[in-house]
Structure 1
Amino acid sequence: MEIKKIVILFFFFSFLGISQTKVGGKVVDEYNEPIPFANVIFKNSKEGVITDENGDFYFESTESYTHVIVSFMGFEKNEFLLKPGLNKNLKIVLKEGTQLKEVVIYSGKTSKKDNPALVILRKIWERKRKNGLRMFDQYQYDKYEKVEFDMNTIDSTFMNNKIFKGMEFVFNNMDTSKITGKSFLPIFINEGLSEVYGDNVAKREKEILKATKNSGFGDGDGVNTFIKDLYAEYDIYDNYLKFFDKNFVSPLSRTGINVYNYVLSDSMYIDNKWCYNIVYYPRRKNELTFKGDFWVNDSTFAIKKINLEASKSANINWVKEIYIEQEFDVLNDSVFLLKRDYMMSDFSFSKKEESKGVYGKRTSIFRNHKFNIPKEDKFYREEVNFYDNSVFNRPDDFWNENRFERLNNNELGIYKMLDTLQTVPKFKRIYNLASILGSGYIQIGNFDYGPIFSTFGFNDVEGQRIRVGGRTYYGPNDKWRIQGYTAYGFKDDKVKYGISGRWMVNPKNRLILSLGNRRDVEQIGVSLTTSNDVLGRSFASSALFAGGVNNQLTNISLTNIGAEIEFVKNFTFQTNLSYRTLKSASNDFSLDYYEDLTQTKVKSEVKQSEINFQLEYTPNRKTVGYGVERMEVDNNYARLFLSYSQGLKGVLDSDFDYQKLQFYYRQPVLVGGFGRLFTTFETGKIFGTVPLGLMGIVPGNQSYFIIENTYNLLDYYDFVADEYASLHFEHHFNGRLFSRIPLLRKLNLREIIGVKGVYGRVSDNNIMINASGLNYIAPDDLYWEYHAGVGNIFKVLRIDFAWRGNYLDMPNARKFGVKASFGFYF
């Protein structure tokens, strides 16, 4: 009964928690200036925190403490008396030191040779590849992982909002964060149990999922897979730690002394091991760095405990906090193994302290380690499409017996709360609206209408265009799916349509059969590497904002029968048999060609049958789901694509016999702390004689927006080629340069530079049959252009400035251009 009273008081008196001691406030000097990165610890304990860039801090403990000790280099320590329970909005003043004996004070950079913290840091570098799991040829262990999402900064105004009328019971599961002191409401939880096996000699690792349990949203592990990608695996000993597609400098990095200050703060026994405590904090604002401290053993120089908190000024969007804690166990007196890994992120539209957001938390616990038990190579081969239904349907008794730690009352309440929410009509409406905005489809029974964002379009041939469509949808892991659309152009007064079906015959190796037909107006030649996607439509075909003439469109009728199979994980083979007809959609544009080299007869329609074989390899690609359609989690993986096409003259009145070979390679590379480099290489050749409709067109970009793998300053059909090679480089510095400029630092802008080039030729025979009136120009002098851009303008806008490198004398040549794009990026 007493506990119930406490809970009631918690909700009505500023959300006071059940922790014994909570402390928050600001540390300032005698002139009321904030002191960043000061140490704040409970007296006679090793529980503490470091103030942020503004001198603010908050932390709590389940123990009862009466004092905190606050210290910083060059200032006298201040011992502050606490009252029981919550101590909020404290103002702690530090006085400048007058007598400092036996202490070396470092101001500014702490990279002096006699700094004892750096001596220890260098010992860590020497031993970092000899600690933990790296000490053994093989390893295996059990892993428990808990992922949770919470709405935070919940106040009375938020709780009394009309939107929650009828759903007030959700606030019965509120709690306060031990890190930030903010109230939060759990809204999602996922648990997972797995076995992990690794081989350091063969550099292989495999994780076998044994059980997973969702809060009730979604099917299978789709939501969990997406969330896990946000919390990528990391090793604190690595030089750079990747979070949200950004490279943060690890405090244990060999380059850390360039961006961090280090101070030897304390030493004591932890679990019978003498350890040094080193405090670190960033030298400059706006860089991708952390603040925090770590405890390191004095003999093995292995980390015993570490915490990392991202700088609030770090150049990352929509994430207000990143906090990490790791604890290590000692095995056989010298082996330090990761025991517990906790990470929390605060997602928010604003970095202001009072702004509301969503916590994302992940807790991983590791135990039952075993070593030097080798496995055969085939054991580590990843299954193409693993799905064991029992993994997703473990009973509650199983979880009670096997989870590594008990759920607290709030976490246990999430399951019941979300199950109850499913029965509330108002919540269903809100959830459905969010689903529509996220997926672009409106679900009506087992049919999805959409995508709604493609409903309206415009081009010079169709004028205003309206489109309606949809797909079958029984669940995210459907083994078959039918989708289609119909469209109407008000200017050309024509109806268009497309329909496609896909059926996964064998889920184990993802053998998929497909069939489809499309009749539509299309801007062909906007991609060097071609596709037989029946429902695909380029952005250029309906560009609402474009420069120059946009009437070089083609009426296309395409029928395709295909099959694909995934031999091994992320390695796919596909074959297609297609028949297409191409005819100009405008009187101002022609696809005419001579039927033979004598140039005696002209034909305006292309009829072509083709068989195509494709190989695609996407190492390290992550996907969601196991049905006929899967969603990619991100695009941060390499892609290699090889295609061979054979024209079948005479089949279904086909006109041409040719062979087409194409290769595409895209590789993103993290360049240390200097951002990410994207490299794209394409090459291809057509063997045989073909008209304009089947030629390789160097992709131009007449829109005002940035379109990947196109040339910013080329118009459609500026260059044609039947053999070509294209190379694009684009580097994203992620604000590394601008963060060094004081006037630009606070804007968190990001720098982009790039260069693009293409070489190509046209055979004499293809020139001879050209009757379109278009003068074939091949980039045989290597056309190139370059661009520089600024991203993260208002967090959503990128602007690129492009310059043409050569072919400046071409008619209507654009020598300079400005392109833009919008998007939500971390």
Structure 2
Amino acid sequence: MRLQKIFFLFLLFSVFGVAQTKVGGKVVDEFGEPIPFANVIFKNSKEGVITDENGSFYFESKQNYSTLQISFIGFEKKEIPLKPGLNTGLTIVLKEGTQLKEIVVYSGKTSKKDNPALDILRKIWERRRKNGLKMFNQYEYDKYEKVEFDLNTIDSAFMASKMFKGMEFVFEQIDTSNISGKTFLPIFINETLSKVYGDNDSKKYKEIIEANKNSGFSSGDGVNTFIKDLYADYDIYDNYLKFFDKDFVSPLSRTGINVYNYVLNDSMFIDNKWCYNIVYYPRRKNELTFKGDFWVNDTTFAIKKINLEASKSANINWVKEIYIEQEYDVLNDSVFLLKRDYMMSDFSFSKKEESKGVYGKRTTLAKNHQFDIKKDDKFYKEEVNYYNNEVFNRPKEYWEANRFEELNKNEAGIYTMLDTLKEVPRFKRIYNLASILGSGYIEIPKWKMDYGPIFSTFGYNDVEGVRTRVGGRTYFGSNDLWRIQGYLAYGFKDDKVKYGISGKWMVDKKTRIILSAGNRRDVEQIGVSLTTSNDVLGRSFASSSLFSSGTNNKLTSVNLTTLGFEIEPAKNLTFQANFSYRTLESASNEFSLNYYTDASRTTTESMVKQSEINLVAEFTPKRRTVGYGVERLLVDNNFPRVFISYSQGLKGVMNSDFDYQKVQLYYRQPVLIGGFGRLFTTIELGKTYGQIPLGLMGVIPGNQSYFIIDNTYNLLNYYDFVADEYASLHFEHHFNGRLFSRVPLLRKLNWREIVGIKGVYGTVSEQNRLINASGLLYRAPEDVYWEYNAGIGNIFKVLRIDFAWRGSYLTIPDANKFTVKASFGFYF
């Protein structure tokens, strides 16, 4: 009887084993050279992949197939018999084919003439704005989205690591990818159910989240900020597809023929629709392109199915693979709707095949489409700060009844596994270390506060010498309605204690009405930004850098007190009203802020006492944030920003010294330039009406550090130029490797090119010149100061080096005419 049970179990496992066909290997020519972008499919199916740049492939199917079919332009088609179950380590040799009269065979770069694939592609272009949801005036549908993170390339050595001591139970969830063949361990999952509404006539869109379930991390930390970027919407018919802040050329782009080769590979019925199969692959390496294939209908020229796999040589960091699969449902004879969108990214420090990394997977499903149900404009008005606690606390029964597809065993196990992991001390330590490096704060849950930011603990300047700082903030969660933060600092050279404290309270969540107050007594480098900041605890990098060029002794002792009111009546539109009182005096005997207090210019004053009212309007369209509390995290910085400020000096209020009016405008606009990178344009305008001393003057921001700082002038020192009226214009273009990818010797380095030019015009009124008793020369850039720079980014993936040249004011004594600046950062 026991033997019968064992035999039955063996038979059962054998059935399960052959229910899935797995294949992997390499396709080469007769000389052993790899054949990239070859087509590998199971015979009599549409399941398959395209080999990578090294000719390698791996994929699997839930069906049982007995024959593998391999083909590539210019080579004879080959069929390989398969055994049941696993077939890996295959080496498939293709022989060069014979050209037939009836067939045009393309090899290498395909011709742009007499290519039937391009004829089909042109018809796709003609119809691309008339397919799917774009065919209707209005649309709505139900949407389910699942995001999962998995550790991959799990081997026995990894599992035996001491790091996992006490956490061995997590390896019970190990699975194998049906795309790459690598083992992986699920570590995070997020599910969202929502209702989507759109109006093509008015170009409006709205998504209402009905349920969200998250396991692994809290909803407000840096991990979720990263996930938010993974959610970026894209349309396969667009010319460029944005992933991880990089713009890939779509295979359906009008410019696709310049970067892709296209081959008409096959045709067949799919869901009773006759479709053509077109294989595409990059013309050159190191460009932001894909390889893959798509099926397109022969009458509507709508996409039925498409696969995209990013070129492994693509100029993108920390991402080894990007794989996308989209399937479209046929609603009727002419309507093709996206029903499934799957995206998988392999994040890794190295692009080597054996390197370990993290899979990021996103699956999006759509159903229950309805059309031409018009909603009024009020419906589409985006809520400023909508947060429904019920959405994030739906019971298990709700999810079982409403999710579009069941979670597999490993996905379902993530929730239980991570709940258990959170109680393991070793995991807590690893998670806390990652959180500290990401946020800069050390969390102290017992006291409901964070210590930090830790990166400001030490600094140096010529006035304070070595400076040390300790600080912290209250932290109950990512959606805190109030927050208090502060710090203490000490300079060993000036032997003085500095401090700052501020508090914010959100009194209305719907329109984000926030009241704030703060006080700071510290040493500050004034003049590192043209546009005024209202952050009472903000301290510039120049105020306390460990390394700087030239002398850094023109610092100011600041005592600043502020009261503020902020409201966001519409999404990303903010208004602020602030009252401030400050005293300013020189922090160094080698620098003066003195000004004359009488018409005869015989009496001077060294301290400025000033009360001020400041009104601000700020508009940041397309800005995306994470969190609903008094402080939010930005998802990225690729959004326009318009900042308008009006300040009124209140002479006599709290012994204030000056009466003046100051107007400022800041405008920043990033623009994608059709596959040639991104252009950043920054405009700053300002004018002060009334008499003011140096401490309240506009200082053209110099940069005496060895690092690249935005909106500063690389070849200016602090106080080289001052102005009470100014206009500044910066252009910086990032080519993202577009030019270097065409240079054979530079191609493999994946360097990225940056060029820029910046200039400023300014004046100082005669009354402000007359009040100056500082001994500092009031030089304004009346003849326009300008400089230009060229840089190389992505050196060793983290380093950028800029070379900058001065374009004017070359004869000024001790003028810096050339400099080299650097910056470090982790960028995709």
Relative to the length of structure 2, the TM-score reads 0.97
CA contact (8 A) 1:190 1:224 kept: no
The residue aligned with 1:780 is 782
Alpha-carbon offset, residue 98 of structure 1: 3.3
Change (3 A) 1:736 1:121: same
Local SS of the residue matching 1:559: strand
Alpha-carbon offset, residue 430 of structure 1: 1.4
The residue aligned with 2:439 is 439
The residue aligned with 2:315 is 315
CA contact (8 A) 2:20 2:63 kept: yes
Alpha-carbon offset, residue 578 of structure 1: 0.3
Letter in 2 for 1:136: F
Letter in 1 for 2:545: A
Which residue, out of 802, 805, 808, partners 2:807?
805
Alpha-carbon offset, residue 75 of structure 1: 1.1
Alpha-carbon offset, residue 99 of structure 1: 5.6
Residues 737-787 of structure 1, C-alpha deviation per residue, up to 9 Å, x if partnerless? 000000000000000000000000000000000000001000010110000
Alpha-carbon offset, residue 20 of structure 1: 1.1
CA contact (8 A) 2:228 2:635 kept: no
Change (3 A) 1:351 1:433: same
The residue aligned with 1:534 is 536
Aligned ranges for residues 731-742 of structure 1 at < 5 Å?
A: 731-742=733-744
Aligned ranges for residues 356-435 of structure 1 at < 5 Å?
A: 356-435=356-435
**For the residues of structure 1 that align with 2:214 and 2:353, how far apart are their CA atoms?**
31
Change (3 A) 1:493 1:423: same
Aligned ranges for residues 103-182 of structure 1 at < 5 Å?
A: 103-182=103-182
The residue aligned with 2:332 is 332
Alpha-carbon offset, residue 672 of structure 1: 1.1
Alpha-carbon offset, residue 5 of structure 1: 7.5
Q: Compute the RMSD of aligned alpha carbons.
A: 1.7
CA contact (8 A) 1:222 1:624 kept: no
Q: Does 1:43 align with 2:68?
A: no
The residue aligned with 2:343 is 343
Residues 280-324 of structure 1, C-alpha deviation per residue, up to 9 Å, x if partnerless? 000000000000000000000000000000000000000000000
**For the residues of structure 1 that align with 2:450 and 2:248, how far apart are their CA atoms?**
41
The residue aligned with 1:267 is 267
Q: Does 1:612 align with 2:625?
A: no
CA contact (8 A) 2:703 2:715 kept: yes
Change (3 A) 1:785 1:571: same
CA contact (8 A) 1:447 1:470 kept: yes
The residue aligned with 2:642 is 640
Residues 705-751 of structure 1, C-alpha deviation per residue, up to 9 Å, x if partnerless? 00000000000000000000000000000000000000000000000
Change (3 A) 1:18 1:503: farther
CA contact (8 A) 1:35 1:55 kept: yes
Letter in 1 for 2:687: K
The residue aligned with 2:256 is 256
Alpha-carbon offset, residue 103 of structure 1: 2.0
Local SS of the residue matching 1:380: coil
**For the residues of structure 1 that align with 2:653 and 2:314, how far apart are their CA atoms?**
61
Alpha-carbon offset, residue 532 of structure 1: 2.6
CA contact (8 A) 2:187 2:216 kept: no
Local SS of the residue matching 1:410: helix
Letter in 2 for 1:60: E
Change (3 A) 1:365 1:6: farther
CA contact (8 A) 2:221 2:478 kept: no
Local SS of the residue matching 2:708: coil
Which residue, out of 464, 484, 487, partners 1:485?
487
CA contact (8 A) 1:580 1:608 kept: yes
Alpha-carbon offset, residue 596 of structure 1: 2.9
Relative to the length of structure 1, the TM-score reads 0.98
Q: Does 1:767 align with 2:769?
A: yes
The residue aligned with 2:209 is 209
Alpha-carbon offset, residue 424 of structure 1: 1.2
Local SS of the residue matching 2:150: strand
**For the residues of structure 2 that align with 1:2 and 1:683, how far apart are their CA atoms?**
83
Local SS of the residue matching 1:129: coil
Alpha-carbon offset, residue 54 of structure 1: 0.8
Letter in 1 for 2:70: V
The residue aligned with 1:705 is 707
Local SS of the residue matching 1:124: helix
Local SS of the residue matching 1:92: strand
Alpha-carbon offset, residue 230 of structure 1: 2.5
Change (3 A) 1:28 1:666: same
Alpha-carbon offset, residue 109 of structure 1: 2.6
CA contact (8 A) 1:118 1:262 kept: yes
Local SS of the residue matching 1:317: coil
**For the residues of structure 1 that align with 2:638 and 2:552, how far apart are their CA atoms?**
33
Which range moved further: 730-739 or 65-74?
Answer: 65-74
The residue aligned with 1:281 is 281
The residue aligned with 1:685 is 687
Change (3 A) 1:19 1:733: farther
Change (3 A) 1:698 1:222: closer
**For the residues of structure 1 that align with 2:788 and 2:10, how far apart are their CA atoms?**
65
Local SS of the residue matching 1:577: strand
Alpha-carbon offset, residue 224 of structure 1: 4.6
Local SS of the residue matching 2:126: helix
The residue aligned with 1:13 is none
CA contact (8 A) 1:17 1:176 kept: no
**For the residues of structure 1 that align with 2:550 and 2:449, how far apart are their CA atoms?**
40
CA contact (8 A) 1:23 1:58 kept: yes
CA contact (8 A) 2:37 2:51 kept: yes
The residue aligned with 1:33 is 33
Alpha-carbon offset, residue 107 of structure 1: 2.4
The residue aligned with 1:566 is 568
CA contact (8 A) 2:382 2:571 kept: yes
**For the residues of structure 2 that align with 1:804 and 1:711, how far apart are their CA atoms?**
10
The residue aligned with 2:598 is 596
**For the residues of structure 2 that align with 1:590 and 1:3, how far apart are their CA atoms?**
94
The residue aligned with 1:462 is 464
Q: Does 1:299 align with 2:312?
A: no
CA contact (8 A) 2:99 2:105 kept: no
Matched-pair identity in %: 78
